[in-house]
Amino acid sequence: MTYVVLDNCISCKYTDCVEVCPVDCFYEGENWLVIHPDECIDCGVCEPECPAEAIKPDTEPGLEDWIKLNTKYAEIWPNITVKKEPMPGYQDMDGVEGKLKLLSEAPGEGD
Ligand code: SF4
Ligand code: F3S
């Protein structure tokens, strides 16, 4: 079991989640964060910390595609462990439907 990041994180990236993860299993792309399913210990503390409600347990139905995407990008993006400013315009992007089409495959810049 793992937790997964869904598309409402895209173009928001609040990053509150990375501060609370005990095993530092978040990975950062240019405009999305993902969880490495093999590293997540399923503690659940990140889920209520996300202002965008973008983190869910994989016990919820219909998340197969999201688990695949989290796995794919966790393998190629850099680890992120320190909170940073949300993305510019995040207030307008929070809650926008169908944000997967906005996904950039580029890795995050880090700090
Ligand atoms: Fe990290 Fe726990 Fe969230 Fe998994 S459920 S990503 S271990 S905080
Ligand atoms: Fe994304 Fe929520 Fe973390 S918006 S960066 S999953 S706090």
Of all ligands present, the nearest one to the C-alpha of 23 is 1
Quick check: is 62 in a domain? yes
Residues 13 and 32: their CA atoms lie apart, in Å, by 6
Quick check: is 65 in a domain? yes
Q: Residue 75 sits in which domain range?
A: 3-83
Quick check: is 50 in a domain? yes
Smallest Cα–Cα separation from 99: which of 110, 84, 89?
89
Q: Which atom of ligand 1 is closest in space to residue 47's alpha carbon?
A: 3
Quick check: is 90 in a domain? no
Question: Count of domains in the chain?
Answer: 1
Distance 46 CA to ligand 1 centre (A): 6
Q: Quick check: 41 pLDDT over 80?
A: yes
Q: Quick check: 81 pLDDT over 60?
A: yes
Here the CATH number for the domain that contains residue 10 is: 3.30.70.20
Residue 35 CB less than 6 A away from ligand 1: yes
> Residue 109: what pLDDT?
82
Please provide the average confidence, as pLDDT, over all residues in the chain: 97
> Residue 25: what pLDDT?
98
> Residue 22: what pLDDT?
98
* % the chain with pLDDT above 70: 98
Residues 37 and 34: their CA atoms lie apart, in Å, by 9
Distance 69 CA to ligand 1 centre (A): 17
- The two tokens of residue 7 are 């598309």
Quick check: is 9 in a domain? yes
Quick check: is 92 in a domain? no
